[in-house]
Amino acid sequence: MNDSPKPITTAGLETFLEVGDPPVGLLRVQPGIAIDDAYEQVSVLLSYIKHLLREGDMEDDHKLLGAADYLTAMAKALMNDIELAKNKFR
């Protein structure tokens, strides 16, 4: 019998990219992803966001800044979902 603790995984509750009236989340974080993997993806997203913001600001490129907004919403939802999952085990 394996008594090792079960890994914490994403809750799958957080949504992002709200559309409609009243607003509804268009996309949702998938449940069951190991939080270590989810943290890794947040790190990647944040590096892309930083790059897009820097380039968008220097070039006055609103498409790059808009892409950064979308990725920011995704990263925020993923971090919120990770926190929800971690709080279940406290």
> What pLDDT does residue 57 have?
96
Which pair of tokens denotes residue 90? 């406290």
The residue type found at 43 is S
- Tens-digit pLDDT string for the chain (90 aa): 566 778 899 999 999 999 999 999 999 999 999 999 999 999 999 999 999 999 999 999 999 999 999 999 999 999 999 999 999 877
Q: What is the 3-state secondary structure (H, E, C) of 34-50?
A: EHHHHHHHHHHHHHHHH
| Upper half-sphere CA count for residue 62 (Cβ side, 13 Å) | 0
